[in-house]
Amino acid sequence: MASVNRRVLPGFSLTLGYTVFYLGVLVLLPITAVFIKASSLSLHEFLGAVWTERARAAYLLTFGTSFLAAVANVVLGGLIAWVLTRYTFPGKRILDSLVDLPLALPTAVGGLIYASLYVENGWIGRYLVPLGIRGAYTRLGIVLVLIFVGLPFVVRTVQPVLEDLDPEAEEASSSLGATRWQTFTHVILPTLYPALITGFALAFARSIGEYGSVVFISGNMPFKTEIAPILIVARLEEFAYGEATAIAVVLLAISFSMLLVVNLLESWSRRHDR
């Protein structure tokens, strides 16, 4: 016997149709175009474009800096989310809205500001450069701006989970004899894992695709501070469209597989929710 399943709201086929259509037009179509363009190259040409020493250095830099920035964001963003949910203090709402600023600000502006702050005679650079810490036109600078653009993602994914945290679970933990640190590591942190991993994935993905801010702070020196998106633009400026899309394909493939791993990790961290 067929089971009858009436939903409160109708329109499943309509909404699914729209979803598939928009995802197709907005996401799948452009990506397919990239793959088609890249496939105009022969295998030899393809490898020649994507596996040069300069390209490999760019991949490594892109994923390395993005990874470091995402890790830093998990720590910093987690901390900010904690402060914003756990405590009340004057100016809290202003601080809370500041978190979203990197989303609204053109990232190029962010990059320019960071660069001007960290150069030798900048407000921060004048103290750091004598200590040997160079924030502008270095890999450190790339990590700094990537932390800036990725910050809201971790804060905004962790915050609602922290707000929903059951205060009784913490009380139960302490009445069972746990120290505050034990309560944090055994009870609070594990419930935050899924949100932290999601925040990490979002910040990481955002960083891999970031262009505007990095182009102003990195100096874009091949082999040293040239990230993959900048390499793509460099190829485009040489009118080597096929080679540019080939690099994009590699970038896409690595990003996709990394996000897949992160998603698996995230669903594993939720295993107790059935």
Partner 1 sequence: MSIRIQGVSKNFGSFRALDDVSLDVPSGSLLALLGPSGSGKTTLLRIIAGLEVADRGTVLHHDENITEYEARDRKVGFVFQHYALFRHMTIAENIGYGLRVRGVPKQERQTRVDELLKLIRLDGLGSRYPAQLSGGQRQRVALARALAARPNVLLLDEPFGALDARVRTELRQWLRKLHEEIQVTSVFVTHDQEEAFEVADHVVIMNEGRIEQVGTPVEVFERPANAFVMDFLGNVNVFHGRVERGRAVVSGLTVAYPDYPHPEARDAAVYVRPHELDVERNRTEAGGLAAKILHVNPTGSRTKVELRALDSNQLINVELTPERFAELGLKSGETVHVSPRRVRVFVPDYEI
Binding site for partner 1 (CB under 8 A): 166, 168-169, 171-179, 182, 186-187, 190-191, 193, 271-274
Give the nearer residue to partner 1 in terms of CB position, either 82 or 193.
193
Question: With respect to partner 1, which residue has the nearer C-beta, 6 or 274?
Answer: 274
165 burial class (0-12, 13-18, 19+ CB within 10 angstroms)?
Answer: middle
- Closest-CA residue to 149 (of 208, 223, 83, 230): 208
Q: Of 182 and 263, which CB lies nearer to partner 1 in the complex structure?
A: 182
Query: What's the rounded Cα separation, in Å, for the pair 145 and 114?
Result: 7
Measured from the CB of residue 274, what is the shortest distance to partner 1 in angstroms?
5
Structural contact between residues 58 and 220, judged by C-beta atoms closer than 8 angstroms: no
Rounded Cα distance, 157 and 150, in Å: 12
Distance CA(76)–CA(78), nearest Å, equals: 5
CB of 139 to partner 1, least distance (A): 37
Cα–Cα distance, 197 to 201 (Å, whole number): 6
Select 187 or 205, whichever has its Cβ closest to partner 1: 187
* Nearest by Cα to 70 from 163, 224, 197, 230: 197
118, burial (CB in 10 Å: exposed 0-12, middle 13-18, buried 19+): buried
Residue 71 vs residues 56, 194, 240: alpha-carbon distances, Å: 22, 15, 35
Buried b (16+ CB within 10 A) or exposed e, 25-55: eeeeeeeeebeebbeebeeeebeebbeeeeb
Q: In the complex with partner 1, which residue's Cβ is closer, 6 or 271?
A: 271
Q: Which is nearer to partner 1, 40 or 174 (CB)?
A: 174
Contact between residue 99 and residue 155 where contact means Cβ atoms under 8 Å apart: yes
152 C-beta neighbours (distance < 10 Å), count: 23
Structure tokens at 180: 């505050």
